[in-house]
């Protein structure tokens, strides 16, 4: 998730004392007589003097109590790690259901949140819908009954290949209610990527739609869903949501309209009480490298981690309106919903593109809906920054309390623009890093922390994280770059992979003994701020010297002329591997050989002459996913004249033509 590659020694954000005192984490510390965050984190992960339970047991027990999360049956132990951190059982003997915590208890007749708005939705065409907890509860129950009527029960898999409409929330929670395993699939995927996930998960029911709006165009889903089902098999029932109202292929033997199936069902349903380790979601890695991994999350872990993070790192307040730019098919979609709805909060959902019809669409919606928390990728911010400050003028962004980011490297200039122009130099940026595998964060700041541009703060509460060298020895306090690892499990850590334990152990536990290897380079600076330096498996070996692509990208973006950069490695007869860079310029700079050489020399000055790009090309855009991530493997494939493979997750495949022409 969130990364940074270039950082500064300057502390830019200092939280006001009143803000700190009113924060949820300060309240938690006061309740337990804890004087400093350092003491709190130590107590949340390590042994506590004079306390029988370990820090992990104490903290994750307190999370349940302090946040008011409800179990149907109390757990006998917080965790059982007798089989090692790889196979830790959490909340042993307990029974619960995510749906009870995020819907049912907020919709009872005497609940103060019964008529609170659970979701605000805005379509790209301007349509706005609000759904209260009472309404969400009724529709979730109706869908749960529809699922059972179609033979779906505990342990069955249900695919969600859906447009971003309010109904995706009800569908997700209905799966939880009946004990089914929800399989969210990104709406931007094409046939092959969708079929791969349906086949691997063996989904018997698939929810989809006729389509959605994107940049003013009608994007159809149903045809692709049909082809994917034909390729994958398994699907017995397809429930189709009507968003566009256009004519679509319809198989009466398998296809049913959502608006005909759901309203006819009873709006009463008794949510199932399920074991803590019962599977709740099957989330697939993006599949940008290798076969997508099916990552398995439980009801206990899928509830406690996002609820904890929204409450502490994003300082949830009852009046908050939370907007994270994502899709239900990516981890951040369910994370946003569960984390906020666990507290009876309000989530804002947007259907369309960030710059349609104009580059101020986000600022317009933040103003119109009074958004208080806004999360977005650094890449998206760089793209919006390039359009100029004039698009911010006229929009009141004063409701923003906290900003968030994840997914791509920050450069200090863009971080400062986001902080100063969007957050008015007051809203802290919670730059978070973790992944689909843990349904949350290893690293994240808290709003009580000082911030340097691009920092990830440090290890998150209850996360036993370290930086080690190749021998697995801790080097965090030596301020050296090393491997980001976890020394212990967490409730939301994938219990294995859908494909089995063998790949799970090979992917995460094989580099070191009893340490989870997250695949990131990390470093803790002299002031205690943590930073990431890219993927440890992406390292470029240039004449025996190693550098991460993110470091070179950071050095390039540090130059005033560069808005964004993507760096790959290429074969070189002399050095073995040579650095190759593709650069997007700021609007007031023109491409030239002199500027190309200036940028190369700039990297040499920043990182050393061996790391100067051998080749540097100017382009206008990079291939990106709909969530804003640059897909570097495609740039590499085009550069090396290789087959690019599946482009279904790419929003702008035409960018590859420009990459091809530039080289």
Given a contact cutoff of 8 angstroms between Cβ atoms, the answer to whether 649 and 630 are in contact is no
CA 222 to chain centroid, in Å, comes to 26
Given a contact cutoff of 8 angstroms between Cβ atoms, the answer to whether 467 and 27 are in contact is no
Most confident region among 86-95, 476-485, 502-511, 616-625 by mean pLDDT: 86-95
Q: What is the pLDDT of residues 234-291, one digit of tens each?
A: 999 999 999 999 999 999 999 999 999 999 999 999 999 999 999 999 999 854 445 7
- Find all residues with CB under 8 Å of 492, minimum gap 6, and list them: 297, 298, 301, 302, 304, 305, 306, 438, 439, 440
Q: Which of 340, 365, 342, 343 lies closest to 352 in space, CA to CA?
A: 365
pLDDT at 545: 67
What is the distance between the alpha carbons of residues 405 and 68, in angstroms, rounded to a whole number?
27
What is the distance between the alpha carbons of residues 242 and 605, in angstroms, rounded to a whole number?
57
Kindly tell me if the per-residue pLDDT of 643 is higher than 90: no
pLDDT at 288: 40
The strand pair at 373-376 and 237-241 is best described as unpaired
Cα angle at 267 between 342 and 331, to 5 degrees?
35
Q: Which CATH number fits domain 536-662: 3.40.50.300, 3.90.320.10, 3.30.300.30, 3.10.105.10?
A: 3.30.300.30
What is the distance between the alpha carbons of residues 404 and 406, in angstroms, rounded to a whole number?
7
Least confident range from 366-375, 410-419, 533-542: namely: 533-542
- 528 three-class SS: coil
More confident residue, 544 or 490: 490
Q: What is the average pLDDT across 659-663?
A: 86
Percent of the chain with pLDDT over 70: 95
Q: Take residue 304 and report the two structure tokens written for it.
A: 């406690």
pLDDT at 648: 65
Q: What is the average pLDDT across 350-370?
A: 95
- 159 three-class SS: strand
Percent of the chain with pLDDT over 90: 76
Q: What is the average pLDDT across 430-453?
A: 95
Kindly tell me if the per-residue pLDDT of 515 is higher than 50: yes
3-state secondary structure 329-354: CCCHHHHHHHHHHCCCCEEEEECCCC
pLDDT at 55: 84
Q: Which CATH number fits domain 133-272: 3.20.20.10, 3.40.109.10, 3.40.50.980, 3.40.50.360?
A: 3.40.50.980
Q: What is the pLDDT of residues 285-342, one digit of tens each?
A: 854 445 788 999 999 999 999 999 999 999 999 999 999 999 998 899 999 999 999 9
The domain segmentation of the chain, as residue ranges, is 133-272, 536-662
pLDDT band at residue 5 using 50, 70 and 90 as cut-offs:
very low
Which stretches of 445-557 are DSSP H helices? Answer: 501-508, 549-557
Q: What is the pLDDT of residues 57-86, one digit of tens each?
A: 999 999 999 999 999 999 999 999 999 999
Given a contact cutoff of 8 angstroms between Cβ atoms, the answer to whether 662 and 619 are in contact is yes
Query: What are the Cα distances from residue 613, in Å, to 305, 589, 610, 637, 661?
Result: 41, 20, 8, 18, 18
């Amino acid at each position: 998730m969130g990364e940074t590659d270039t950082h500064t020694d300057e502390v830019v954000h200092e939280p006001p004392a009143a803000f700190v005192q009113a924060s949820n984490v300060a309240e938690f510390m006061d309740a337990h007589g804890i004087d400093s965050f350092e003491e709190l984190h130590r107590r949340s992960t390590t042994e506590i003097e004079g306390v029988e339970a370990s820090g992990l047991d104490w903290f994750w027990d307190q999370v349940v109590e302090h946040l008011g999360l409800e179990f149907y049956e109390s757990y006998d132990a917080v965790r059982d790690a007798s089989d090692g951190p790889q196979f830790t059982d959490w909340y042993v003997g307990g029974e619960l259901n995510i749906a009870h915590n995020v819907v049912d208890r907020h919709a009872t007749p005497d609940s103060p949140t019964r008529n609170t708005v659970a979701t605000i939705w805005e379509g790209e065409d301007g349509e706005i819908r609000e759904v209260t907890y009472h309404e969400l509860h009724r529709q979730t129950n109706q869908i749960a009954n529809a699922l059972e009527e179609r033979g779906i029960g505990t342990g069955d898999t249900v695919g969600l290949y859906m447009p971003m409409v309010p109904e995706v929330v009800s569908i997700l929670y209905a799966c939880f209610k009946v004990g089914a395993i929800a399989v969210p699939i990104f709406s931007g995927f094409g046939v092959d990527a969708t079929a791969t996930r349906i086949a691997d998960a063996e989904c018997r029911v698939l929810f989809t739609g006729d389509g959605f709006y994107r940049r003013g165009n009608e994007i159809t889903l149903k045809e692709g869903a049909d082809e994917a089902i034909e390729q994958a098999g398994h699907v017995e029932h397809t429930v189709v949501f009507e968003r566009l109202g256009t004519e679509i292929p319809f198989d009466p033997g398998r296809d049913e309209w959502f608006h005909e199936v759901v309203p006819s069902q009873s709006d009463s349903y008794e949510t199932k009480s399920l074991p803590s380790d019962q599977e709740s979601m099957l989330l697939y890695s993006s599949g940008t490298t290798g076969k997508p991994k099916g990552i398995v999350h439980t009801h206990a872990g899928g509830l406690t981690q996002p609820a904890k993070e929204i409450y502490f790192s994003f300082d949830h307040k009852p009046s908050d309106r939370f907007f994270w730019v994502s899709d239900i098919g990516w981890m951040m979609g369910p994370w946003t919903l569960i984390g906020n709805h666990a507290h009876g909060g309000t989530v804002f959902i947007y259907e369309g593109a960030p710059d349609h019809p104009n580059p101020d669409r986000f600022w317009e919606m933040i103003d119109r809906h009074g958004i208080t928390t806004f999360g977005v990728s650094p890449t998206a911010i760089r793209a919006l920054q390039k359009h100029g400050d004039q698009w911010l003028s006229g929009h009141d962004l004063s409701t923003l309390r906290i900003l968030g980011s994840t997914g791509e490297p920050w450069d200090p200039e863009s971080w400062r623009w986001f902080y100063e122009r969007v957050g008015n130099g007051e809203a802290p940026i919670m730059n978070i890093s973790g992944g689909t595998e843990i349904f949350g964060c290893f690293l994240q700041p808290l709003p009580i922390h000082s911030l340097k541009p691009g920092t990830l703060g440090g290890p998150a509460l209850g996360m036993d994280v370290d930086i080690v060298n190749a021998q697995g020895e801790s080097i965090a306090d030596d301020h050296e770059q090393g491997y980001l690892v976890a020394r212990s499990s967490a409730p939301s850590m994938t219990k294995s992979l859908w494909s089995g334990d063998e790949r799970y152990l090979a992917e995460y536990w094989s580099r070191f003994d009893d340490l989870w290897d997250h695949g990131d380079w990390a470093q803790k600076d002299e002031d205690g701020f943590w930073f990431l330096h890219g993927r440890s498996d992406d390292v470029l070996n240039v004449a025996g010297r190693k550098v991460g692509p993110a470091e070179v990208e950071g050095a390039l973006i540090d130059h005033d002329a560069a808005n964004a950069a993507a760096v790959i490695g290429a074969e070189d007869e002399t050095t073995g591997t040579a650095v190759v860079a593709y650069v997007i310029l700021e609007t007031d700079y023109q491409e030239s050989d002199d500027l190309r050489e200036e940028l190369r020399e700039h990297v040499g000055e920043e990182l050393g002459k061996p790391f100067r790009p051998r080749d540097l090309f100017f382009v206008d855009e990079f291939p990106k996913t709909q969530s804003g991530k640059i897909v570097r493997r495609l740039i590499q494939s085009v550069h090396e004249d290789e087959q690019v493979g599946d482009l279904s997750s790419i929003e702008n495949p035409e960018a590859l033509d420009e990459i091809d022409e530039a080289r």
